[in-house]
Chain A
Amino acid sequence: MKINLKIWRQAGPNATGKLVTYRLDDVSPDMSFLEMLDVLNEQLIAKGEEPVEFDSDCREGICGMCGLVINGEPHGPRVTTTCQLHMRSFKDCDTITIEPLRADPFPVLRDLVVDRSPLDRIIAAGGFISVSTGAAPEAHATPVPKKNADRAFDTAACIGCGACVAACPNAAAMLFIGAKVTHLGELPQGQPERAARIVKMLNQHDAEGFGGCTNVGACADACPKSIPFDVISQLNKDLRTSLVRGL
């Protein structure tokens, strides 16, 4: 396959970036998207140019490290992560525009690499349960109904990649928070800190400079883990409960 690429190049956090055009003549449809970028980088290095910086780690869709906006869609046209997207999803001679995840709380460090630590700080503000560490507790000691366990598991699938923020017209991180409060809220272990959790996480979210949700739904469309949009309503319900309790 022949592929034309327009890639956002930016030398550093404060440098001015621009889209630069590249051309690859021999791309296999079986390559993953990141392998295609690896091929490009090998050619750039051979020519003595700076390779395109991008994040990746597990390359099997479970770590949340990769995340590029491909033709205006975070993680591209398929419901999966960028690393699990393959070139067969594109046509011969396609022009593909690759941009970093865009949101002011995610400053571009270089090229396609952004700093997503605001999401870590939101988790640190309340997206956890406080337990004493030690041996794993007996699994049957705390029964969880199957329905709740399933929903907790589905929402725990969030890998924190930031695609929801990148897709949101308001650059809000509500799907990310919704996934976490639903995950912990479905489980008995999550109850003691439940009311305070949502308030702390939202305060951190606002302090980081994310926008507010207007229920557009672009986040859930972009989510590589199919986190459902209704977790945001769960978030609002938890918030309402907390407000009534005066937290």
Chain B
Amino acid sequence: MKLLMALTGSLFVLFVLMHMYGNLKVFAGQEAFDSYAHHLRTLGEPILPYSGFLWIFRIVLVLSVIGHAYSAFYLWSKAHNARSTRYAVRAAGAAAWRTQTMRWGGVALIAFLTWHLMHFTTNKINVNSAVSDATIGDSPYQLVVASFQVWWITVFYLAALVAVGLHLQHGVWSAVQTLGWAGTPGARRISQLLGNAVALVVSIGFALPPLFIMFGFVK
């Protein structure tokens, strides 16, 4: 069960890093960004149909989300059943709050993910009334830029990134521990550093495009 959690989690980390790389193409301009988005759909052609690779990838990710959530609820209910009488006093341990955010943070991330997919993938919601739908057209670049010119959208995404960062900080090192690669004090220190590094790189890497757009450096 925990192996399922660790393996699906590792897949998300790889995906998120790839996603971040794609996002940073915003700095290379509209042409680079849009052709990258288009290329994702033609990847694997002609063996696979148009968007074929993308759909395989999406199905794997959705199954992983289900597996990840299932193992989380399994562990949650097991923990709940293993201590029915709670402590009257709980020590304010340093370990506590980061890991406590894993479960509720995970639920919050699923909610965010739903909105995120509706926003940029399925419905392509235009939240910026100053930009007409015609300007956006079929360009993902224009949609991204129009969206993050709205300050509260940027703030909302930044909040989500904080949640992602916290989840990754514990999640990455936790996966290493569960996969059995943190079996010495040195290896544990390295994997905890790795968790912090991945969390920082991902949160900052994703935060750059929205911030640059909001402050008008990328138009």
State the A residues within 8 Å of B (CB). 6, 8, 19, 69, 71-73, 97, 99, 102-105, 169-172, 209-218, 221, 228-240, 243
Contacts and interface: CB of A to CB of B under 8 A. Distances in A.
A102 B79 CA distance: 12
B183 A99 contact: no
A239 B75 contact: no
B79 A170 contact: yes
B182 A212 contact: no
B95 A237 contact: no
B84 A104 contact: yes
Interface residues of B, number: 40
B87 A228 contact: no
A218 B96 contact: yes
Contacts of B91: 71-73
Nearest to A208: B82
A233 B188 contact: yes
A218 B81 CA distance: 19
B13 to A, nearest CB: 15
Nearest to A215: B174
Nearest to A96: B89
Interface string B168-183: 0010011011111111
B87 A215 contact: no
Nearest to B100: A169
B177 A209 contact: no
Contacts of B187: 230, 233
Given A72-B87, A218-B93, A230-B187, A213 B180 contact: no
Contact of B179 (A71, A231, A236): A236
A87 to B, nearest CB: 18
Given A104-B81, A209-B81, A216-B95, A229 B102 contact: no
Q: Closest 10 A-B residue pairs measured CB to CB?
A: A237-B180, A72-B91, A171-B82, A170-B79, A211-B82, A233-B182, A211-B79, A234-B183, A215-B174, A72-B89
Contacts, number: 118
21 contacts: A102-B87, A104-B83, A169-B100, A170-B82, A171-B83, A209-B81, A211-B75, A212-B1, A212-B2, A213-B2, A215-B178, A216-B99, A217-B99, A218-B95, A221-B93, A221-B94, A232-B177, A233-B178, A233-B183, A233-B187, A235-B180
B183 A237 contact: yes
Contacts of A231: 183
Interface of B: 1-3, 74-75, 78-79, 81-91, 93-96, 99-100, 102, 170, 173-174, 176-185, 187-188
Contacts of B188: 228-230, 233
A233 B181 contact: yes
Contacts of A217: 95, 99
Contacts of A238: 180
A240 B179 contact: yes
Given A71-B91, A212-B1, A218-B93, A171 B185 contact: no
A217 B99 CA distance: 9
Which of B176, B177, B182, B184: most chain A Cβ within 10 A?
B177
Nearest to B181: A233
Contacts of A209: 81-82
Contacts of B182: 230, 233
A97 B88 contact: yes
Contacts of B75: 170, 211-212, 214
A226 to B, nearest CB: 11
Nearest to A234: B183
Nearest to A18: B88
A197 B98 CA distance: 33
Contact of A214 (B81, B82, B87, B99): B99
A155 to B, nearest CB: 11
Nearest to A243: B3
B16 to A, nearest CB: 20
A68 to B, nearest CB: 12
Given A170-B79, A234-B183, A97 B89 contact: yes
